Structure formats: structure tokens, C-alpha cells
Amino acid sequence: MSTYEKFDHHSAECRDDIVGYYAAFRDKCPVGRSDAHENGYVYLTRYADVFHVARNDALFSSTRAAGNLEGTAIVIPSGPFGGNMQQPLELDPPDNVEYRRLLDLILSPAAVDELRPMIARHASRIVDEFIESGSVDLVEVLTNPLPSAVTLDWIGFPEEDWMRIGRPIHDVFTSEPGSERAQRAYEGMAYMEKRLAELIAERRAHPGDDVISRLIAERKADGSEFTDAELFSVIGIAITGGVDTTTSLTGSVLVHLDEHPEMRQQLIDAPDLLVDGTDEFLRRYGSVTAMSRTTTTDTEIGGCPVRAGERVLVPWFAANHDPEVFSEPHEVRLDRDASRHLTFGIGTHRCPGAHLARAMFQEMIHQVLTRLPDYKVDRAGVVGYASRGNHMGWDVIPATFTPGPRVGDRVDRFQGASHGAETYDVVLDAVDVVADDVVAITVRAADGGTLPRWQPGAHLEVRLPSGRLRQYSLCGADPASYRFAVLREREGRGGSEELHEIAVAGRELTVRGPRNHFPLVDADGHLLIAGGIGVTPILAMARDLSTRGRPARVLYGGRSRGTMAFADELSALPGIEVDLVPQDEHGLPDLHGAIAATPAGTAIYCCGPGAMIAEVQRVCDELGRGRDLHVERFAASDEMEARLTSTEGNVPFEVELRRTGVTVDVPVDKRLIEVIREAVPGIAYDCEKGFCGSCETRVLEGAPDHRDEVLSEAEQATGRSMMICVSRSCTPKLVLDL
């Protein structure tokens, strides 16, 4: 690891190796001082310290007054747009609440879902414009135009303004201060400000069906209107935040996928991986690398004394790469639960545009992987931002690809973002014992409707009455119905025991999905390796191959014949060669021999115990067959489970939503946020695990039952706010400021 003497987050060293730069200071001096800019500042490198400073509004301020600043207070050095106060970013609670509410209103998950068809139309149109060329700069033709068009169209700007404003926003973040390009950027921003002021005036006179008109119609808590200057500031933040942050993230991920073709192929084969993988990409390549706050009184951070008036760098990027929170943080792992990443910030200034950013990013990646799947980046020609101090990304990404056809009005929308995203109820139709301690469960839709169709390799997420979540591979013969098998693990974490105990016909369960991270790909041949209950997705794959007349070999190991579920069903499939290997009769399966006997190009699938998967991976690597291997793991997440609402010990309570004028009942088996969403569709939330702080809500009366990991013990003790996604009530009634 390199040794750096003086900390400067805008330095060339930080730009060239930002991961190594923060790691070096985290090791030798995790909290320290720098005199690199203005009057100097305190820098942080650890997740816990970043979290503390971003969340503590009493000790740390985001206002200009706290630091006696003329320029923008939320970056170091203070920003160049000194004349325009950025509300709500440069305000502290409670002054920011009214303005934050405006952003939450137009950027809630429900509001963004309504935008998805428009995002897909713009993405398809923009790719059509260059798909026949075969050679482009991906930033110029895609990652900048798409967010610009979506954001400005959504807000209400006419088409002729989209790129005239979008390009200068990108230039602001990429140009060297004082350069000719920077000057052009400022001129472009001045044009945006002029046009925004004109549009606000126009919409006041002639309201339309756009964001500007909607915000003009909103009123403050006291019934007064928002002024033009206040609307100007809030909408300006929505524009700049919506454009270049998504540009930067998407460009970084496209470069990463070019460098890691195996991951690109994973996402092509299993598009659903992008849904959960988005947060991991955000963690690794989050475009906003740092912000800043000002200390309001003498205090300490991570053991380092800090004086009142000192500015503090809050580097989200460093927190996202803290190995105490994310193991091997430099790696991208699509199966990592990256929910606690801080790319969108935490606390009062957490980015309200998180859902829109995800939607635009996913649609762009989807377009590239489906229409430019063989794109190749000219890595010698990529150009990064001049500094990674506040933002990171790529300014130029030259790429070539096989030209393709235009699609016109045939919009292929990314379905993974909404597919299977909501929970629904199913009823157990049949429960059959299929092996020792294994039951097969068949379910139907509780409302009598049709269940979403599925393909081999898909899994269903089941929420048990206790609140536990479990994923089970689907293995039935009918793609319109669901069947899965559950092994009773007596030394497990309780989920399988619970499901075995409640599994009777007529019982209702809540599920989510299906999703498919383990799709069956076409290949010259297939070797399917199963261990124990890992046979469930293998059974579905073998049945599909048999139906299509495609030969395959199944290697199935278990402790004994009595423990091997579906052995007879597998053996009866025409055209499928099945090797049953009960351990008590034949020992362990010969994995090396089975893999070595298959010709190159044979797809190798493995699902089973972790030790078996690890050995199959080792053998494939040894034989040079890593590209042929597909595996699936269901890594149990105690961490996530602990943050989900459990019905154990729950009691019903009542909630009055003071501003809405509605009182609702929260039953034992429903989360507070689920009930509130029905009454207030536009509320802000994100992770739904008690990590991110998006749903923090002021408590006016009553005592919350805190179950989050955002509020400190002292904050929880005050009872002034709560995270409505996971927390409940200790009193019969709560009154919330909603």
C-alpha cells in the first residue's frame, strides 16, 4: 500500500487510486486534519465516524452560517455557486423539513414507479439514435443524454432544453476549475437558472401536468405558498442531482463490466441479479464521494478533538469501503447485501432521488446488455473526472460494438425493477413428505388469481409468521403454479422448523417473487450437480431439458437414499442420465471425474452445501472450466432478519397521522410502514430494514418501540422520531407528523 503524507481528497493521488488512498489513511490516521483547502478541515475514513457526523444535527451543521461561508457549505472547498442557497441541503432541521417534503413528494417510490415507462421510452429512443453506428462515446450518447432527458422532461422543460442544460451539468463536475470548459459550464448553468425562473413564472400563470406545477400547488404547514426563490432552489437540486450522479454511476459500471466479462454474462443470463446488485454497484462506484458539515461546538470524532467552527469532510466513499463493514470492499459481489451503503448519505440530507437514480441506472444497463451485449471499451481512451474529491466517474468512454437495428416504438422495458418487488399472499394447497425431514409444498394465489410465471432456477421468498425470510427454489412441473421443498434443519436458525410446524393445507403465507438468479442457459450439454436439498432447482432444470429433448447428466449426492428427495422423479425423466450417490453406500460423489469427463462448453450447474459448491469451484478452476460453472447459494442473513418486523411479542396499536387527518390501526402481523403507505402513498422510504434513515418520522405523541440501527440510544430515548419501516409502538397509540 502506498504511503501518503498529506491528506487532500482532491489530489492526483486520490484521483488515481481513491480506494487505496482512503485505506492508507484509515490504517495510519483514520481521523485527522488537513490544511489543503481554505482554512483546513477534519477528514474521516471510517464508516462509524461518517455515520456519526452525518446523523448528528446538534453537533454538526450543513449551513453556511455555521462556517461563516459565502460559497456552498456542503463541499470542501466551498462551492462556486455562492449566490444560490441550496435548499434543503444547506439547512438543518427543522428548517429543512418543508423543502425536504417537496422532494419526497415527487421522488417517492410510488412516484418513480409511474415514471418507469417514460424512462424506458427515452432509453430506447436514445439507443436507437446510435445503435447502427458501432462506435461511440458512451458518455456522450447514453449516460449523459438519458438522465438529462428523463429529469428535464419529468420536471417540465421543453425538449430543446434537455441537452443544452444536461451537458453543462456534466461539465460542472468534470472540468478543471478556471478552465475554458468550466466557464462554458457556468454559462450553461446560468441558462438553466434563467429557464427555470421563466418556467416557474409560466406555470404560476398556466399550471400544467408537470413537477413544477405540482410543487407550485403545494402549501407549507402554515398554509402559505412557497416563494419562487424556494421553488427555484428545490427544483434546481432535483435537476443537478438527477442528471450527473446517474451519469457517473452508469459509466463506472459499464467500464467495470467490460473489465469483468464474466459478470456481464451473469447479468445477461440473469437480469434479476441487477435488482439486488444495484446497491452493490452503488456502494462500490457511488458518484458522490464526499460532502461536508461544520462543527457547532467543541466535541470529538473517533477520539480526535474537534473545535467549534471546524469543517469536517464526510466521505461516503470511504465509509462504503471500510472493511469493518464490507469484507473485501474493493470487490463487487452481486450477492452481497449492500443495503447499509452510504452512497445516498444518511440522516437529514439523505438523497431523496435514490429511487429515480436506481430506475435510470437499471434501464441504461438493461439497454446496453440487451442491445449492445458485446460492447468493448477502449480502455486506453477512457477519461476520468479531474478530481474524485466530491464526485467520481468517467468523462469519456469510447466503445465499439456490433451495430444493431432500431426498435422504434417497440420499447423493451427492464422488468426486474418491479417484477416480484411487492409481496402477495398464497395458500398452501398440498404438503407432501418426499424424503426424511423433507416436505414438498404446493401453493396457489390466495385471491384466486394467476401466479407470475417462472423459469427453471427461479426462487420464491417466503415471509414466515415470525417475520423470518427464507428463499426456496421452485421445482414443480407447472410454470403457472409453485412447488418448493423444505428440509427440516434441526440445528438451523429456526426458519425450516417453523415452516414444517405450520405447513398444513389452507395456511396462508406472504411471498415475494419469483426471481431468477440461477437461470438455465443454452449449451452444448449440461452437467447438473446436486447435494441434499440443493436438488430442487436441479429437478426443474432436468425436467425442462428432458421436455425439450436435450440430454443431460445429473450427479446427485445425499447422506442416504432416504434423505434424497425427488430421486425417483429425476430417474424417470426421459433422456436424463442420473447418478445417485448416497454417501452411506458409495461415499462422496466423484466431482473431479464427472467434471473432467464433460467436454468444454458443457454448462455445469451446482446447488448444495457450501462445501460441495466450494469443491466444484476448485475443480472447475483447476480444469480451466470456470466459465462453464453456474452456482447458487442461499446465504442466510441473520443481519437482515434481525431488522425485519417479527410478530413475536407484537401487539396491535393505533396511529394518528396528524397532517393527513387519518387514524389507522396496525395489526400484529403488519408493519407500520405497510399500513401508512395505504393512507399516504407518497411517503419516503428506501431500504425497509432500518438501515438508511429515509423513513425517519417525527413522533408527536406516544412511545415508539425502536427496532432500527440508525438512531443512537440517546436519540431513541427521547422518542422524538422513529423509523417507521421496522419500528412499532410501546403505547396503545402513536401520533406521527404525517
Q: What is the pLDDT of residues 579-617, one digit of tens each?
A: 999 999 999 999 999 999 999 889 999 999 888 999 999
How far from the centroid of its chain's Cα atoms is residue 333's Cα?
13
Kindly indicate the confidence band of residue 633, based on its pLDDT and cuts at 50, 70 and 90. Answer: low
Per-residue pLDDT at 698 exceeds 50: yes
CA distances, 543 to each of 240, 451, 514, 561, 606 (Å)? 51, 20, 19, 21, 16
Contact 278, 272 (CB under 8 A): no
Question: Buried b / exposed e across 131-169, counting CB within 10 Å, b at 16+?
Answer: beeeebbbbbbbbbbbbbbbbbbbbbbeeebbeebbbbb
Q: Give the pLDDT confidence of 486-503 residue by residue, as tens digits.
A: 999 887 777 888 889 888
Kindly indicate the confidence band of residue 680, based on its pLDDT and cuts at 50, 70 and 90. Answer: confident
By mean pLDDT, which of 85-94, 526-535, 729-738 is the weakest? 85-94
- Arithmetic mean of pLDDT, 523-536: 94
- Give pLDDT, residue 589: 94
Quote helix, strand, coil % in the chain, to nearest 5: 40, 20, 40
Q: Mind giving me the DSSP string for 378-444?
A: -GGG-EE-S--SSB--EEE-EEE-------TT------TTTTT-SEEEEEEEEEEEEETTEEEEEEE
- Give pLDDT, residue 4: 86
Per-residue pLDDT at 86 exceeds 90: no
- Give pLDDT, residue 125: 96
- Give pLDDT, residue 556: 97
Residue appearing with cell numbers 461536508: 292
d(CA 266, CA 413): 19
Instruction: Please name the residues in contact with 674: beta carbons below 8 A apart, sequence gap of 6 or more.
Output: none
Q: Which residue has the higher pLDDT, 38 or 418?
A: 38
Contact 50, 319 (CB under 8 A): yes
Q: Going along 446-598, which residue ranges are E strands? A: 459-463, 469-473, 482-487, 508-515, 525-531, 552-558, 576-582
∠ CA(283), CA(289), CA(291), 5° rounding? Answer: 125
Residue 496, number of CB atoms within 10 A of its CB? 22
Kindly indicate the confidence band of residue 644, based on its pLDDT and cuts at 50, 70 and 90. Answer: low
Kindly indicate the confidence band of residue 666, based on its pLDDT and cuts at 50, 70 and 90. Answer: very high
Written as nine digits, the cell of 709 is: 440501527
Q: Which residue has the higher pLDDT, 276 or 93?
A: 93
Q: What is the dihedral of CA 600, 606, 609, 611, to 10 degrees?
A: 10
Q: State the chain's maximal CA–CA distance in angstroms.
A: 84
- Arithmetic mean of pLDDT, 135-155: 96
Q: Which DSSP state fits 286?
A: -
Ramachandran angles phi, psi of 539, nearest 5°: -60, -45
Per-residue pLDDT at 57 exceeds 70: yes
- Give pLDDT, residue 175: 81
Contact 237, 485 (CB under 8 A): no
Q: If you compute the radius of gyration of the chain from its CA atoms, what whole number of angstroms results?
A: 27
By mean pLDDT, which of 271-285, 633-647, 708-722 is the weakest? 633-647
Task: Please state the pTM of the whole predicted model.
Answer: 0.84
How far from the centroid of its chain's Cα atoms is residue 642's Cα?
19
For 154, half-sphere exposure in the C-beta direction (CA atoms, 13 angstrom radius) is 27
User: Percent of the chain scored above 90 by pLDDT?
Assistant: 68
Per-residue pLDDT at 140 exceeds 90: yes
- Give pLDDT, residue 676: 92
- Give pLDDT, residue 170: 87
Q: Give the pLDDT confidence of 247-300 residue by residue, as tens digits.
A: 999 999 999 999 999 999 999 988 888 988 999 999 999 999 999 999 999 999
Q: Give the pLDDT confidence of 573-583 residue by residue, as tens digits.
A: 999 999 999 99
Written as nine digits, the cell of 129 is: 439514435
H-helix or E-strand containing 98? helix 97-107
Per-residue pLDDT at 417 exceeds 50: no
Contact 465, 498 (CB under 8 A): yes
Kindly indicate the confidence band of residue 636, based on its pLDDT and cuts at 50, 70 and 90. Answer: very low
Query: Nearest CA to 734 among 656, 652, 651, 645?
Result: 656
Amino acid at 131: I
Contact 353, 112 (CB under 8 A): no
Contact 731, 713 (CB under 8 A): no
Q: Give the pLDDT confidence of 217-248 residue by residue, as tens digits.
A: 999 989 999 999 999 999 999 998 888 889 99
Per-residue pLDDT at 81 exceeds 70: no
Kindly indicate the confidence band of residue 1, based on its pLDDT and cuts at 50, 70 and 90. Answer: low
- Give pLDDT, residue 82: 53
Query: Nearest CA to 655 among 645, 668, 665?
Result: 665
Burial (0-12, 13-18, 19+ Cβ within 10 Å), 713? exposed
Terminal alpha carbon distance of the chain = 50
Residue 543, number of CB atoms within 10 A of its CB? 19
Q: Mean pLDDT, the chain, as a whole number? A: 90
336-339: long-range contacts, CB 8 A cutoff, minimum separation 24: 336/280, 336/283, 337/276, 337/637, 337/639, 337/640, 338/279, 338/280, 338/282, 338/283, 339/279, 339/640, 339/687, 339/689, 339/691, 339/692
- Arithmetic mean of pLDDT, 95-107: 91
- Give pLDDT, residue 669: 79
Give the three-state DSSP class for 694: coil
By mean pLDDT, which of 126-135, 427-436, 634-643 is the weakest? 634-643
- Give pLDDT, residue 64: 92
- Give pLDDT, residue 722: 93
Contact 374, 135 (CB under 8 A): no
